[in-house]
Amino acid sequence: MDYLHIMPNKSEEEMTSEERMRAEHIRLHQLHKGHESMHAEMLLILLVTLVVVQVILVEWKKRHFRSYQFVTLIGVWIIPFAICLMNFWWRFIFFWLLFSCVTGLVVRKALQRPIRGTTPRLVYKWFYFIYRLSYVLGIIGYLIAFATFFGLNLVFDTKAPTWMDCGLLFLFYGLYFGVLGRDIAEICADKMACHIGYYAPKSMPTRTLDPGVCAVCGNKLLVSEHEEGVIENTYKLSCDHVFHEFCIRGWCIVGKKQMCPYCKEKVDLTKMFCNPWERPHVLFGQLLDWIRWLVAWQPLILLLVQGINWAMGLE
């Protein structure tokens, strides 16, 4: 029904504002007439695709975990960058490129054969820094969002959306780079653990150690094991070998063996160090999986649904 049939004696200029709104409503209703069934079909396609893809991903993860983990990592790494590149979000692009360049150099060091004595230290320092930084960013983002939710931003006479956007931004950066750094750290540790048994003896210092020398990297110790260091402490194992803090911590996450990296004597390293990349609590692990799914797989699923709708002429 055309709005001129409803008001045949009036032109658009003669209509009141209320009549114009009613006429525009009728015109839009006619334009979208029949789209209800189309929207129902699109929703059905979305739900079916979500279920099918989720089943495929679960089975893939059960049967071929390593390939699933690797492809998910590539998706988490590349897809947000591509989305930001299309939308010209330069801030994220800058931090992504900075993280990727440094991480690429660290991964390259981790894959070298033979493994150098300083490599475990380098791997640990970089990924532990990312871990701590992402933890701090996540806490700051959560506190800002929490304060905005309860209206504490009014104390500073600022708009709530600005504070909430800032909090969500900090939270996203913390979660994204935290998950990405954690996954890459685990892959580096696994790769180095495979090689360290064959190549470590050639890359470690000689059997004769000078006093005050780290038994992993062969460099001088900054402080004794009884002193508090400004940058890092010195640790002595039960076998009396001493190490830089970051060197022995790096060995903990790389070697994954309860032994001295120099003399191979059995020691309980878990009592000395807490590894941030150990298998997390079940709920926290599920949260990490959800973040990976949200970042890596959800955009691909939505792109697949859009392609199906386009192929069926529903777009």
Token digits for 40?
């129902």
pLDDT the model gives residue 199: 39
Handedness of CA 217, 255, 285, 287 (dihedral sign): positive
Token digits for 312?
């069926």
Tell me, what DSSP letter sits at residue 230? Answer: S
Instruction: Name the nearest CA neighbour of 298 among 50, 6, 92.
Output: 50
Task: Collect the ranges in the chain with pLDDT lower than 70.
Answer: 1-16, 19, 25-39, 153-161, 193-210, 251-259, 261, 264, 266-285, 314-315
Q: Please, what's the b/e burial string for 85-121 (b: 16 or more CB within 10 A of its CB; e: otherwise)? A: eeeeeeebeeebeebeeebeebbebbeeeebbbbbbb
pLDDT the model gives residue 82: 93
Q: Summarize pLDDT for 265-314 with one digit per residue, the tens.
A: 766 666 566 655 555 555 566 777 788 888 888 888 888 888 887 887 76
Distance CA 261, CA 47 (A): 52
Check: CB of residue 261 under 8 Å from CB of residue 209: no
pLDDT the model gives residue 11: 58
Distance CA 20, CA 3 (A): 9
DSSP-assigned states of every residue in 290-311:
HHHIIIIIHHHHHHHHHHHHHH
Instruction: Name the nearest CA neighbour of 176 among 138, 146, 144.
Output: 138
